[in-house]
Amino acid sequence: MKNTTFEPPVSHLAEADPEIYGAVESEIRRQNENVELIASENYSSFAVRESCGSVLTDKYAEGYPGRRWYGGCEWVDEVEKLAIARACKLFGAEYANVQPHAGSQANMAILMAAIRPGGKVLGMSLSHGGHLTHGHKRNFSGDLYQAVSYGVDEQTGFLDYRQVRRLAEQENPDIIIAGASAYSRKIDFGHFRDIADQVGAYLMVDMAHIAGLIAAGLHPDPVPYADFIASTTHKTLRGPRSGFILARRKYAESIDAAVFPGIQGGPLMHVIAAKAVAFKEAMSPAFADYQVQVLANADAMARHFIERGLRVVSGGTDNHLMLLDLSGNGFSGREATEWLAAANITVNKNVIPFDKRSPAEAGGIRIGTPAITSRGMKEKAAVQIADWIVEILMSKDPEETAGSLRSKVKGLCDEFPVHCC
């Protein structure tokens, strides 16, 4: 396997559009010189990116392999069939739809297929780690459906399964959504299945964040329990930015119809090709080793934060991310994010469960290890980064401390260049 350092793209773009080329070049520099700790980001392989940048971007293919609304689909049919077969093989699923443009569209298609507008959804609250599409009032999921939210236990920070059951019994939802965007513990899908069965609800799992860990067998598998599974392809799974759906075979027709013509038109065949490549990459032993390291790095960072006196929500992590609760430190997640950015460390502000601050300010930050692990960083580098974060956040003058650490952060980045396999 060859490793190749990121390089600026070839000259066509530079000649045709120097402004966009300049922005792309600057983004390459930013990715190289910054420590990327956004838990939902990663570096995709050159093979994935070549697929995204291929001629397949020019092809319309509304419909599904063998039943398209356009001619000339023989090669994109092959691409989509491969993507479907690989998604099913990777996750042991009976059925896959690889057309959703992103995770939100995957979630939307499942809800459209499973329940009627006005039906009831029980999902994890955004403010406790869930996702907008799990029933937030500003999102279609809270607008078109009656949404009820569960959360985590205030003392432990762990999912409150007793609350999920109580709400399910009280509210009688049509569908229960398990899955999160900012939750650092394993999710017991069997427990959710039991609750769903008790109240006669569908069980939908959103595995977007943990798909790579599941593919590597490092997180409990939702496939035996869920009626529907939505995912993205670009987080721990390290593919292109996109989405897909897995389901039991009996739901194939309704999911297919919900994706197209339900909510989407022409599928993005270049991205579907990139998803096929990513699914293949995820079947390799190297991918499983990578996921083991993602977990080891996250665990090492969480332990270091705790040792140095910062509060990690739920007291640690079982997966690729953690939430730092800064509410006792007298500053917001927004401020922390800005200070860390001055040291070339990229994180996102995040509300913490039972947050007293607004989402724009937020009481915490979310930290994830998929991207630094793709650069080849192991526990020693992860702990070094955690140490710098503590030094900045606990400093009397965080901005100045961040500025003084910037060259060290860049030095670490030089030691671990962003590369693609």
Query: Does 350 sit near ligand DSN (CB under 6 A)?
Result: no
Min. distance of Cβ 350 from ligand DSN in angstroms?
9
Query: Does 179 sit near ligand DSN (CB under 6 A)?
Result: no
Min. distance of Cβ 287 from ligand DSN in angstroms?
21
- In this structure, is the dihedral angle defined by the CA atoms of residues 109, 115, 117 and 121, taken in order, positive or negative? negative
Cβ-based nearer residue to ligand DSN, 181 or 327: 181
Query: Does 337 sit near ligand DSN (CB under 6 A)?
Result: no
Min. distance of Cβ 137 from ligand DSN in angstroms?
17
Cβ-based nearer residue to ligand DSN, 232 or 401: 232
Catalytic residues: 60, 62, 206, 232, 235, 241
Min. distance of Cβ 131 from ligand DSN in angstroms?
6
User: How many residues line the site for ligand DSN (CB under 6 A)?
Assistant: 4
Which residue number is nearest to ligand DSN in terms of Cβ?
40
Query: Does 100 sit near ligand DSN (CB under 6 A)?
Result: no
Query: Does 139 sit near ligand DSN (CB under 6 A)?
Result: no
Spatial separation of the C-alpha atoms in residues 89 and 380, rounded to whole Å: 35
Cβ-based nearer residue to ligand DSN, 193 or 241: 241
Cβ-based nearer residue to ligand DSN, 56 or 367: 367
Min. distance of Cβ 107 from ligand DSN in angstroms?
9
Cβ-based nearer residue to ligand DSN, 210 or 393: 210
Closest CA to 87 of 275, 286, 290, 220: 275
Query: Does 103 sit near ligand DSN (CB under 6 A)?
Result: yes
Min. distance of Cβ 129 from ligand DSN in angstroms?
10
Near ligand DSN by CB under 6 A: residue from 181, 332, 369, 373: 181
Strand partners, 205: 178, 229
Cβ-based nearer residue to ligand DSN, 168 or 180: 180
3-class secondary structure per residue, the chain: CCCEECCCCCHHHHHHCHHHHHHHHHHHHHHHHCEECCCCCCCCCHHHHHHHCCHHHHCCCCEECCEECCCCCHHHHHHHHHHHHHHHHHHCCCEEECCCCCHHHHHHHHHHHHCCCCCEEEEECHHHCCCHHHCCCCCHHHHCCEEEEECECCCCCCECHHHHHHHHHHHCCCEEEEECCCCCCCCCHHHHHHHHHHHCCEEEEECCCCHHHHHCCCCCCCCCCCCEEEEECCCCCCCCCCEEEEECHHHHHHHHHHHHHHHCCCCCHHHHHHHHHHHHHCCCHHHHHHHHHHHHHHHHHHHHHHHCCCEEHHHCCCCCEEEEECCCCCCCHHHHHHHHHHCCEECEEECCCCCCCCCCCCCEEEEECHHHHHCCCCHHHHHHHHHHHHHHHCCCCHHHHHHHHHHHHHHHHHHCCCEEC
Min. distance of Cβ 324 from ligand DSN in angstroms?
16
Cβ-based nearer residue to ligand DSN, 42 or 401: 42
Query: Does 231 sit near ligand DSN (CB under 6 A)?
Result: no
Query: Does 125 sit near ligand DSN (CB under 6 A)?
Result: no
Judging by beta carbons within 10 Å of its beta carbon (0-12, 13-18, 19+), is residue 329 exposed, middle or buried?
middle
Q: Contacts with ligand DSN in 245-284 (CB under 6 A)?
A: none
Query: Does 333 sit near ligand DSN (CB under 6 A)?
Result: no
Closest CA to 211 of 99, 111, 121, 91: 91
Query: Does 368 sit near ligand DSN (CB under 6 A)?
Result: no
Spatial separation of the C-alpha atoms in residues 210 and 39, rounded to whole Å: 10
Spatial separation of the C-alpha atoms in residues 321 and 302, rounded to whole Å: 9
Min. distance of Cβ 14 from ligand DSN in angstroms?
31
Near ligand DSN by CB under 6 A: residue from 34, 40, 97, 231: 40
Cβ-based nearer residue to ligand DSN, 40 or 401: 40
Binding mask 45-74 for ligand DSN (x = CB under 6 A): ------------------------------
Tell me which residues touch ligand DSN (CB under 6 A): 40, 103, 131, 181
